[in-house]
Amino acid sequence: MKLVLGVFLTIMLTVLSKNVMSQSLVSNDSIDVFWYEYMNSRREKIQAEDIVTSYKEDFFRLWLNEVVVEVWCDKNKLGGRLIHWVEEYVPYEEEATDRYFVIKDDLDSLACASILSVMNKYEIRQMPSSQYIKNWKNGLDGIEYIIEDKVNWKYKFKNYWTPSAQKDVHEAEVLEEFIDELVLVINEKERSNYFHMSIPFKSWMNGGATITSKIMTYGDIMRMKQERNRYRKQKKLQLPVK
């Protein structure tokens, strides 16, 4: 009886904690539960900080495909980071490796201040999530931009499907201009080129439907296939026995 009661209480506490979490995220300009859970899983894969539980009182994160832009204020001190990432893609006849390649670059206070300046210029923090913007349409193909934002401990999660596909939506134009300027501020073109040269995979994805592959010789392709097989074997050996 005690065991049954203990299990029941555990289940109830889990359900209640999830409900409280959902309610704490809901506001009149924020939260899409599907995208929140999806991106939270990805955040764990690339080992990015959980903004909700972070000790930093002000924290902004923008997901731009393969690069994540972060800037925060902790005890009146600015900090920031760029996280470039890709997930390995393997041929359909192979078992997935579930491997991610991630490079994190810390930003100095000057770069962080520049990012905040662009954010303030376009009033990005005041923009509601797309589901609260009139005439903003969603689709199956395209780009999904995600903004996580915490100000004075209040967290918001906002998503925007393909701003360039929106018609006569002022906020979409503003978001596009913001992203274009931000990419210049963080020198993303040069950083992205360096990152691509460092990727150890033959093929990869970064959240969308696009698959990118390196041009390689047959010998290199076979060598990388052997390396993937070795990785899978090592991974299985490390799993706990059930």
Query: What are the two backbone dihedrals, phi and then psi, of residue 205, each rounded to the nearest 5 degrees?
Result: -130, 165
Would you place residue 240 in the very low, low, confident or very high pLDDT band (cuts 50, 70, 90)?
Answer: low
Would you place residue 53 in the very low, low, confident or very high pLDDT band (cuts 50, 70, 90)?
Answer: very high
Q: How many helices (H) and strands (E) does the chain have?
A: 6, 8
Does the structure show a pLDDT above 60 at 10?
Answer: no
Does the structure show a pLDDT above 90 at 201?
Answer: yes
Average pLDDT for 229-240: 85
Query: pLDDT higher for 6 or 60?
Result: 60
Range of the domain at 187: 20-235
In a domain, 148, yes or no: yes
In a domain, 56, yes or no: yes
Q: Note the helical H segments in the chain.
A: 2-25, 33-45, 109-121, 170-185, 188-198, 218-238
In a domain, 2, yes or no: no
pTM for the full predicted model: 0.84
The answer to whether 160 touches 130, Cβ cutoff 8 Å, is: yes
Average pLDDT for 153-174: 95
Q: How far is CA 134 from the centre of its chain?
A: 25
**Total count of domains within the chain:** 1
| Percentage with pLDDT > 70 across the chain | 85
In a domain, 7, yes or no: no
In a domain, 146, yes or no: yes
| Ranges 63-72, 95-104, 120-129, 230-239: which has the least confidence | 230-239
Would you place residue 236 in the very low, low, confident or very high pLDDT band (cuts 50, 70, 90)?
Answer: confident
Does the structure show a pLDDT above 60 at 2?
Answer: no
In a domain, 15, yes or no: no
Going by C-alpha positions, the residue among 80, 87, 123, 131 that lies closest to residue 105 is 80
Average pLDDT for 56-64: 95
Does the structure show a pLDDT above 70 at 168?
Answer: yes
In a domain, 85, yes or no: yes
Amino acid in the structure at residue 102: V
Does the structure show a pLDDT above 60 at 47?
Answer: yes
In a domain, 49, yes or no: yes
Average pLDDT for 93-106: 96
Does the structure show a pLDDT above 60 at 100?
Answer: yes
Going by C-alpha positions, the residue among 110, 112, 55, 56 that lies closest to residue 80 is 112
pLDDT digits (tens, 9 = 90+) for 21-43: 444 444 556 667 888 888 999 99
Amino acid in the structure at residue 211: I
Does the structure show a pLDDT above 70 at 190?
Answer: yes
